[in-house]
Amino acid sequence: MNPSEWFTEQLPGADSAFSLKIKKKLHEEQSAFQFLEIYETETFGNLMVIDGCTMVSTRDNFFYHEMISHPALFTHPEPKRVWIIGGGDCGTLKEVLKHRSVEHAVQIDIDERVTRLAEIYFPELCESNSDLRAELKFIDGIKWVKDAEPNSVDIIIVDSTDPVGPAEGLFSKAFYHDCFNCLSEHGMVVQQSESALYHLKLIGEMRDAMGSAGFGHLQTLFFPQCIYPSGWWSATIASKTSLAKFRELDAADKPFDTTYYNVDIHKAALAQPEFFKKAFSL
């Protein structure tokens, strides 16, 4: 097989790689912040790659977008105001706006080109961009949170790239402290937290930073994500109040369709592997 027919992302230090057979490259450009590529693949639909790392595909994006949004929104007692830091492909925004309680959802991504390319190559993810409750901002999300007033938001979803480049500051104690300050009484921040198999040290550093910033309740949940390193991903929720229960009846009776998320998946995602429990004495 000709290697040029495949897109491959190698993971330094893990001696592993993920590949997809491609039909053709649809687009590439250097934005003001990162190098963006769009491929048409044989079996995963369109694929967006940022700085050489797989970001979103037509076939499997629902795992990530549903699991970074619905568990948190069904855990908060009444989420009305939601901010999405990053999330330029708009898939998370689409899932958030499925919740009737949400009155205002702001997506803050520093790179407008990600959204404009998603509108072309992933239009199904951008279906809610014109929702009257949606607001798109192309500014620095770290500064947005830092400058926010207290009690400004109920849930902050950090839908970011890996902790390098523009996203590095989103994994810091200072950022979590700013999140804590602008969240409402039952406020929570949920952030993609990489793979527990490959990035356990990073998850530990995130959890420590979240706790040090004032969040007394932490919860890491797990889900499959084929195109990301190891194929097994996670998100971590940090909350001002208890995460022991979620609105199970509301989730069971949700008035919208999902592809992966349901009550059973929500419960299963919270099961902690033994090595994870031992790492953090859970």
Residues serving a catalytic function are 159
Contact yes or no for 83/60 (Cβ under 8 A): no
Contact yes or no for 277/102 (Cβ under 8 A): no
Q: Please state whether 231 falls in left (phi above 0), alpha (psi between -120 and 50) or beta.
A: left
Cα separation, 14 vs 210, in Å, equals 26
The tokens of 38 are what? 């769009």
Residues pairing with 57 in the sheet:
47
